[in-house]
Amino acid sequence: MKFWIQRQLTVIVVVALLGSLSLVGCTSPQADSSTTATEAPTITAQANNQDMSELPKLEGKATVVMTVNGSPITIEVDGDRAPVTAGNFVDLVERGFYDGLTFHRVVKEPNPFVAQGGDPEGTGMGGFVDPDTNQPRYIPLEIAPEGSDEPVYGKPIGGTPALKHDRGAIAMARSQAPNSASSQFYFTLADHSFLDGNYAVFGRVTDGMEAVDGIAQGDSIESAKVTAGLENLKK
């Protein structure tokens, strides 16, 4: 009986954490303020079949150093397994988009979960608007299955992904709509395999994980800079 209760509590916690990650991600291209927790945002055919040739891509690896609370966090960005997601992130870093933005959601209780940032509005509902076109940029869900050379786009995968939600992974937040990611990202504060195949991991922290552990809600990204691999970014 005790085991059954513990199991049920674990399930409840997992569902709550997954919901918090989804619902504070970016809104979909057609979502509005009336979208509720039980409504999946609508994505039009144009958004589902967006021309990925117009999106930045990272052909290879890059290194980004993000400074939070005076401490550097070194991130290896993996364009080999997630070229569109990685390209989007590196492009935004290079633009200086993340400088000064806050971590609007940090979940450490009852167990370490994620530190999420990258929203220019600081509310969990914002994303990147391209100043050249004055249009929001959305990227498709991009997950490469383990052992495959090609990512799957636009839908979760049922198998094991090549990039997993291990402690120190960096991935894109989104709404319930698969193709709604824009600029919001999160660091995983522990291993969370239940997220694998549903959210796009695009890199990992290689140094400075203690700084990630120290992030509190409201902390700012002082700076983010591409220190290696910028030549691999293709626009």
Which pLDDT score is estimated for 21?
A: 54
> pLDDT by residue (tens digit) across 21-41?
553 443 333 333 222 222 223
What mean pLDDT do residues 124-144 have? 96
Residue with the two structure tokens 């290194």: 63
Do the beta carbons of residue 97 and residue 225 sit within 8 Å?
no
Identify the three-state secondary structure at position 152.
Answer: strand
Which pLDDT score is estimated for 176?
A: 94
Do the beta carbons of residue 189 and residue 70 sit within 8 Å?
no
Which pLDDT score is estimated for 47?
A: 40
Which pLDDT score is estimated for 153?
A: 97
Do the beta carbons of residue 127 and residue 184 sit within 8 Å?
yes
Handedness of CA 127, 131, 132, 135 (dihedral sign): positive
The share of the chain scoring above pLDDT 70, in percent, equals: 79
Give the span between the Cα atoms of 76 and 101, in whole angstroms.
20
Q: What's the N-to-C CA distance of the chain in angstroms?
A: 58
Nearest to 88 by CA among 145, 50, 125: 50
2-27+55-229 has which fold? Cyclophilin (2.40.100)
Question: pLDDT band at 50, cuts 50/70/90?
Answer: low
Which pLDDT score is estimated for 160?
A: 97
Which pLDDT score is estimated for 45?
A: 30
The share of the chain scoring above pLDDT 90, in percent, equals: 77
Question: pLDDT band at 210, cuts 50/70/90?
Answer: very high
Give the span between the Cα atoms of 74 and 118, in whole angstroms.
17
Which pLDDT score is estimated for 53?
A: 85
pTM score, whole prediction: 0.83
Q: What is the pLDDT of the chain when averaged over all its residues?
A: 84
What mean pLDDT do residues 61-70 have? 98
Do the beta carbons of residue 77 and residue 62 sit within 8 Å?
yes
pLDDT at 73 over 60: yes
Domain parsing of the chain, residue ranges:
2-27+55-229
Identify the three-state secondary structure at position 108.
Answer: coil
Question: pLDDT band at 149, cuts 50/70/90?
Answer: confident
Which pLDDT score is estimated for 97?
A: 98
pLDDT at 5 over 80: no
Question: pLDDT band at 51, cuts 50/70/90?
Answer: confident
What mean pLDDT do residues 148-152 have? 92
What mean pLDDT do residues 135-156 have? 96
Is the model more confident about 43 or about 86?
Answer: 86
